[in-house]
C-alpha cells in the first residue's frame, strides 16, 4: 500500500496540467478568431474613413412653424419637419434645399456634437431648390465640408449619401451613380438640369444633405426621389455641386441668385408661334433691353405692326456651338457662365445664320 500513496496526488497534478493546457489553447484560439473577426476590409476602412471625415460637417435641420392661438391671443411654434444640410464655410453658412425650409418661421441647426443654433435665412433660389442659412457658433466648432466637382462624373462610380432620413440623424448610405444629365422640376415648376441620378438610398429627411465621392468630397446636394410610396426605390437625384457653387456663392454675396443675362426679353408663347410658323425650334428675341450687350450688338426685336402682323426678331439657335431649341436650353447654358463672360450666339436673321459675340451681364 505504501508505494501507491502518491498516486492520487500525481493524478490531480496531471489533470490540472491538462486543464491548464486546454484553457490556454482555447484562449489562444479565441484570441486568433477575435483578431480575424476584427480585421476590416479595404472597402470597409474606406467607408468608415469617409463617414469620419464628413460627420462633423453635416447638420440636422429642424423646421418650426408659427401658430396663432386665438383663444389665448398668443403664438407658439410647432415642429413642421426636418431635413439635412452641410457647413459651407467658417462664417457659419449652411447649405440645404429650399423645399426643406419653405414656409418655415424658424429653423434650428443641430451640429454633430449636439449643440443647437437658431439659423437666419441668407437667401434662396427656388429655381434650383437651394437655400442658404447662417448660424453663429464659435468658429472652431465649424468644420466646412470639402467641395469636389461634378463636371467629370462617370456612371458607375461609387457615391455616398449622408443625412438624416426619417429623423434618424447622421446616417450614411452607399451606391453608385446610375445616370447623369437628368432633368427634374423644382418646387416652382422650373426644370433643374444636369442632375445626378443615384441608387444610394435617399429618403425623406435626406434632402439638403451631401452626395459624396470616394474621396469624401461633395459632388451633389441630395434633392428628391422617385417613388410611389414616398420611400426610396433606388432612384434618387442630386443637384450637381458645380451648379450649387455658382448659386450659393451668389446668394452669400448678393442674397439672391441672378442668372447671367444677354439683355433680351423672351416668351415661350412666341417661341411656340415661331415653331408653328416655320417648323423650327429656337428662342425668339421678343425685345432688346436698352444699354445692354444685346443692344450694343444690335440684336433685333420682334415687331408687331398696327394690323397685328408679327415679324419675328432674331432667333437664337446656338450658344457656343451648343444647340438651343427651348428657353430651358438657353437658361441652362447661361447658368454655366458668370457675369463678364463672353459667349457666341448663332442667330437666324431673315433665314440667314449670323454669329454674334455677347458679353454676359
Residues annotated as catalytic are 99, 129, 207
The bridge status of strand 171-185 relative to strand 158-163 is: antiparallel
- Residue 132 and residue 271: Cα distance in Å, rounded? 34
- Residue 138 and residue 10: Cα distance in Å, rounded? 73
Distances (CA, A) of 257 to 121, 129, 166, 200: 14, 11, 30, 29
Distances (CA, A) of 114 to 50, 63, 93, 150, 170: 20, 17, 18, 31, 12
Residue 219 burial by Cβ neighbours in a 10 Å radius (0-12, 13-18, 19+) = buried
Q: Grid cell 484570441 — which residue?
A: 31
Distances (CA, A) of 60 to 94, 210, 247, 326, 349: 10, 12, 22, 38, 54
Q: Which of 311, 323, 307 is nearest to 284 (CA)?
A: 311
- Residue 338 and residue 346: Cα distance in Å, rounded? 19
Alpha carbon 215 to its chain's center: 17
- Residue 183 and residue 170: Cα distance in Å, rounded? 28
Max CA-CA distance within the chain?
A: 140
184, 192 Cβ separation under 8 angstroms: yes
Q: How many residues does the chain have?
A: 361
Q: Which of 130, 83, 128, 91 is nearest to 109 (CA)?
A: 83
- Residue 56 and residue 141: Cα distance in Å, rounded? 9
Amino acid at each position: 500500500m505504501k508505494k501507491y500513496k502518491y498516486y492520487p496526488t500525481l493524478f490531480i497534478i496531471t489533470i490540472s496540467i491538462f486543464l491548464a493546457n486546454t484553457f490556454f489553447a482555447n484562449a489562444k484560439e479565441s484570441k486568433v478568431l477575435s483578431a480575424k473577426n476584427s480585421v476590416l476590409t479595404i472597402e470597409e476602412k474606406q467607408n468608415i474613413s469617409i463617414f469620419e471625415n464628413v460627420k462633423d460637417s453635416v447638420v440636422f435641420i429642424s423646421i418650426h412653424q408659427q401658430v396663432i392661438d386665438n383663444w389665448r391671443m398668443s403664438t407658439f411654434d410647432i415642429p413642421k419637419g426636418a431635413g439635412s444640410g452641410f457647413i459651407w464655410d467658417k462664417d457659419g453658412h449652411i447649405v440645404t434645399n429650399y423645399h426643406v425650409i419653405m414656409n418655415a418661421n424658424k429653423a434650428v441647426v443641430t451640429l454633430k456634437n449636439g449643440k443647437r443654433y437658431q439659423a437666419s435665412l441668407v437667401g434662396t433660389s427656388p429655381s434650383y431648390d437651394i437655400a442658404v442659412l447662417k448660424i453663429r457658433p464659435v468658429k472652431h466648432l465649424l468644420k466646412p465640408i470639402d467641395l469636389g466637382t461634378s463636371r467629370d462624373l462617370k456612371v458607375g462610380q461609387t457615391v455616398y449619401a449622408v443625412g438624416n432620413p426619417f429623423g434618424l440623424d447622421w446616417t450614411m448610405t452607399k451606391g453608385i451613380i446610375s445616370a447623369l444629365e437628368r432633368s427634374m422640376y423644382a418646387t416652382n415648376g422650373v426644370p433643374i438640369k444636369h442632375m445626378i441620378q443615384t441608387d444610394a438610398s435617399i429618403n425623406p429627411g435626406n434632402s439638403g444633405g451631401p452626395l459624396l465621392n470616394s474621396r469624401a468630397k461633395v459632388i451633389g446636394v441630395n434633392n428628391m426621389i422617385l417613388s410611389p410610396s414616398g420611400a426610396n426605390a433606388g432612384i434618387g437625384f442630386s443637384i450637381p455641386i458645380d451648379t450649387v457653387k455658382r448659386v450659393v456663392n451668389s446668394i452669400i454675396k448678393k442674397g439672391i441668385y441672378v442668372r447671367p443675362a444677354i439683355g433680351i426679353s423672351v416668351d415661350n408663347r412666341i417661341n411656340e408661334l415661331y415653331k408653328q410658323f416655320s417648323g423650327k425650334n429656337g428662342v425668339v428675341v421678343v425685345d432688346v433691353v436698352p444699354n445692354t450687350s444685346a443692344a450694343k450688338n444690335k440684336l433685333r426685336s420682334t415687331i408687331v405692326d398696327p394690323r397685328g402682323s408679327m415679324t419675328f426678331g432674331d432667333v437664337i439657335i446656338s450658344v457656343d456651338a451648343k444647340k438651343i431649341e427651348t428657353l430651358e436650353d438657353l437658361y441652362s447654358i447661361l447658368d454655366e457662365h458668370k457675369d463678364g463672360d463672353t459667349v457666341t450666339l448663332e442667330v437666324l436673321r431673315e433665314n440667314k445664320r449670323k454669329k454674334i459675340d455677347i458679353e454676359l451681364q
